[in-house]
Amino acid sequence: MAKGGPRVSPQRWTVWNNVEATASTKEYWTPTYSFALATVGSADLEVLNYYSSNHANATFVKLFVCTKLHRETGRRTTLYFREGMEYEGSRCARLHTTRKNENDPDGRWIDMRVGPIRQILRDEFGFKFPEAYAGN
C-alpha cells in the first residue's frame, strides 16, 4: 500500500479499430483512442491546446485533411496534404475516393494553391465561399 492510502487509478476506456487482413497480414484489432475520467486544470488545457494547434510539430499544423463519407455508397473521399508532398516538382495535395473496384483510379494530385484547393473543397465537399473571396 502506498504511503497515505491506496492509489486509485481512474477508470479507462479504449476504442479499438479493426484492421482488415491483407495478402501479407492477418486481421487484427488495434487501440485507437483511450479515455479516462480525470480532472484537468484550465492551465493544463491552455498548454495542451497550444501544443496541439499552434506548435510547429503539431499534427493540426502539419497536416491538412478534409474527408466526406458518401451515405449512398459508403465510399469515402479524402483530400490531404502534409509538408513535403510533391508531384512533378510542385507542392500538391492528394484527393482520393475509395474505389468501387480495382479499375477505379487511385486518386489524383491537386496543386496546393488557393484556386485549385478552393475548387475541390467546393465541388467535392460542398464548401461554400463568398463570391468576392479570392483567398490569401
Question: Given this model, what pLDDT does residue 53 score?
Answer: 82
Structural domain span for residue 23: 12-125
DSSP-derived pairing of the beta strands 76-82 and 63-69? antiparallel
76 falls within a domain: yes
> In this structure, is residue 4 part of a structural domain?
no
For residue 3, being part of any structural domain is answered with: no
Q: Is residue 131 part of a domain?
A: no
Instruction: Say which residue, 40 or 126, is predicted with more confidence.
Output: 126
> What are the tens digits of pLDDT across the range 96-126?
998 777 766 678 999 999 899 999 999 999 9
Q: Is residue 6 part of a domain?
A: no
For residue 24, count other CB atoms closer than 10 A to its CB: 5
Q: 67 in a domain, yes or no?
A: yes
**DSSP letter string over 9-20?**
PPPEEEEEEEEP
Higher pLDDT, 9 or 127: 127
Place 63 in a pLDDT band, splitting at 50, 70 and 90: confident
Would you state the pLDDT for residue 6? 67
Domains in the chain, number: 1
Q: Per mean pLDDT, which range of 47-56, 74-83, 96-105, 126-135 is the poorest?
A: 96-105
Q: Is the per-residue pLDDT at 1 higher than 70?
A: no
Q: Please state the pTM of the whole predicted model.
A: 0.58
Q: Is residue 134 part of a domain?
A: no
* Residue 100: predicted pLDDT: 74
- Can you tell me which residue has the cell 473543397? 121
CB atoms within 10 A of CB 125: 13
Mean pLDDT for all residues in the chain: 84
